[in-house]
Structures are given as structure tokens and as C-alpha cells.
């Protein structure tokens, strides 16, 4: 598994992020092999695309403004309301 993110501040910040990802992957994905890479967002068009897509989806859900989402809707395979009220309570 490859986890790609925009460059995060210092080496200390990157190490903390990598540790958090490691803990999550061990709990959820049960993967032995993974790597986190940090790219300069100004030079990585894939980060621009993923950021725009996340923004468009967020804008649709939070502001009820589907204009940007409609431009990418045919590329979105699935989505769900992470904060929807369910029947299971965790606290």
C-alpha cells in the first residue's frame, strides 16, 4: 500500500504522521508492507486532482452546492455520509 500526502513541515511532523498511519494500517488494513511518501504539492498534479475532488465532495455535502461535484460525478465510484446518524452507538 502506498500512502501519498503533501509535504508536511518538519521531519518530526512526518515521523509522527507516519507512525499514526502505521498504527491505523495495523488496526484496519492488516497490511505488512506499506510506505508513506511526502510530495511537494506545488509540483505534484495528482495531489491537485485529489485535493479538488475532496473539496468538491465536501462542498456538496456541507454547503449543498453540487456545481463542482457535478464536474467529477461520473468519476466518483462510491461515497457516503461518514457522519450520518446510525443505530449503533460507540460511546
Domains of the chain: which residue ranges?
A: 1-41, 44-78
**pLDDT score, position 73:** 96
Ordered alpha helix ranges (H), 1-91: 11-28, 45-63, 67-72
Beta bridge partners of 2: 35
Q: Which residues contact 19 (CB under 8 A, 6 or more apart)?
A: none
15 pLDDT higher than 90: no
Report the C-alpha gap between 67 and 72 in whole angstroms. 10
With cut-offs at 50, 70 and 90, classify the pLDDT of residue 90: low
Q: Are 35 and 2 a contacting pair, CB within 8 Å?
A: yes
**C-alpha cell of residue 52:** 479538488
Q: CA-to-CA distance for 66 and 18, rounded, in angstroms?
A: 34
Q: What is the pLDDT of residues 62-84, one digit of tens each?
A: 999 999 999 999 999 988 777 77
Q: What is the pLDDT of residue 24?
A: 80
- Give the pLDDT confidence score for residue 5 in this predicted structure: 76
pLDDT digits (tens, 9 = 90+) for 20-57: 877 887 777 766 777 777 777 778 888 889 889 999 99
Amino acid at each position: 500500500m502506498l500512502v501519498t500526502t503533501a509535504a508536511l513541515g518538519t521531519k518530526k511532523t512526518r515521523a509522527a504522521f507516519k507512525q499514526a498511519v502505521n498504527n491505523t494500517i495495523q488496526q484496519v488494513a492488516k497490511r505488512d508492507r506499506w510506505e508513506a511518501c511526502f510530495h511537494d504539492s506545488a509540483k505534484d498534479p495528482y495531489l491537485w486532482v485529489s485535493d479538488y475532488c475532496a473539496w468538491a465532495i465536501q462542498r456538496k455535502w456541507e454547503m449543498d452546492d453540487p456545481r463542482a461535484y457535478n464536474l467529477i460525478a461520473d468519476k466518483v465510484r462510491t461515497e457516503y455520509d461518514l457522519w450520518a446518524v446510525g443505530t449503533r452507538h460507540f460511546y
